[in-house]
Amino acid sequence: MENPAAAGEALLSRIRFRHLSCFVAIAQERNLRRAAERLHLSQPAISKTLGELEALAGMRLVERGRQGARLTSAGEQFLRHAVEVTQALEAATAALAGTGESSTPMVQVGALPTVASGLLPRAIARLHAERPHAGVRLRTGTNVELLAALKAGELDFVVGRMAEPDMMQGLSFELLYAEPLALVVRPGHPLLSQPGAAASLQAVLDYPLVIATAGTVPRHHTEALFQTHGLRLPPGTTETLSVSVSRLLACRSDAVWITPERTARDDLEHGWLARLDVPTSGTKEPVGLLRRSAAESTALARAFMETLAELARMP
């Protein structure tokens, strides 16, 4: 019977950095052609390298198909460790070259568009006040996109939402806050003069709606809110995750913008938008910090997460 420790040592001695960098690139790009372009290799070369790695591992790590490359369960497990190894080697090389974190500290953050327009600007301003030379690289996207990037090591952490159990594998979640939906319109909107919550929700359907795209948590809660009152979303809605576009539509027309509450907080406080008196109970959704469970955060990333947590507790 083969000794597992001996087998592991034999595998370790045969895996090369090119195997790991190839695998991580495929996981991050989710496409063999794009991964090959990123590494300045031909697609047959990167396919051969991946094949070598899978042969060494004795199992398939990537499923190839028309929709691109998708990691298997074993691939998801292996990715966490491959990312740590490649990042450690890159950091060591940068440190030797004098370009490591100590000279140019940078934190890479992923955030939902609704969070990026609310909590993040205040947190970045405070971070820069305390650490003037610290850099922040912010990436926005859907929760699915951001968690995939986090797992692939492209981000230090994500300000986002809980996901399905299979997507949360290898990730931790720390609650920041929970927020409901809000229906907001321009000041002077006809709906603001209509008392009665039920009547207002029914009347909302007479105006253009600006809502989140399908497959997102805010969209799910929006549909559920109307269904609870025996209503359905009408055709002709504007679906977008762009906060700036949504804000302008609400400010410059009679559109009703349905959005997580904190996204519109500044607009409401400054009087640029007004909130309809429509109850949205049952639409609360937690937002928190997501990071790789097995990865150690940098000092800058920890400081930024602490700032976010502190600001999230403020009313």
pLDDT tens string 58-71: 899 999 887 788 88
Q: Is the pLDDT of residue 265 over 50?
A: yes
What pLDDT is attached to residue 118?
80
Amino acid at 295: A
Provide the b/e sequence for 2-40 (b: ≥16 CB within 10 Å): eeeeeeeeeeeeebeeebbbbbbbbbbbbbbebbbeebe
Amino acid at 88: A
Q: Is the pLDDT of residue 166 over 90?
A: no
pLDDT tens string 187-217: 999 998 866 544 478 889 999 999 999 988 9
Q: Mean per-residue pLDDT for 260-271? A: 92
Domains 105-177+286-313 and 181-283 share a fold: yes
Which has more pLDDT, 100 or 25? 25
Q: Is the pLDDT of residue 100 over 60?
A: no
Q: Quick check: 5 and 35 in contact, CB under 8 A?
A: no
Task: Please state which of the ranges 83-97, 99-113, 236-250 shows the lowest mean pLDDT.
Answer: 83-97
The enclosing H or E element of 124 equals helix 119-130
What angle, 0 to 180 degrees and rounded to 10, lies between the N-to-C axes of helices 4-14 and 43-57?
A: 160
Q: Mean per-residue pLDDT for 238-253? A: 95
| Banded model confidence at residue 255, pLDDT cuts 50, 70, 90 | very high
pLDDT tens string 21-46: 888 888 888 888 888 888 888 888 98
Distance CA 238, CA 255 (A): 9
For the chain, the domains span: 4-95, 105-177+286-313, 181-283
Topology (CATH) of 4-95: Arc Repressor Mutant, subunit A (1.10.10)
Q: Quick check: 44 and 36 in contact, CB under 8 A?
A: no
Widest CA span in the chain: 80
Q: Mean per-residue pLDDT for 121-130? A: 89
Q: Quick check: 108 and 150 in contact, CB under 8 A?
A: no
Superfamily of domain 181-283: Periplasmic binding protein-like II (3.40.190.10)
Q: Is the pLDDT of residue 4 over 70?
A: no
DSSP β-ladder status, 157-160 and 181-185? unpaired
Superfamily of domain 105-177+286-313: Periplasmic binding protein-like II (3.40.190.10)
Distance CA 240, CA 47 (A): 37
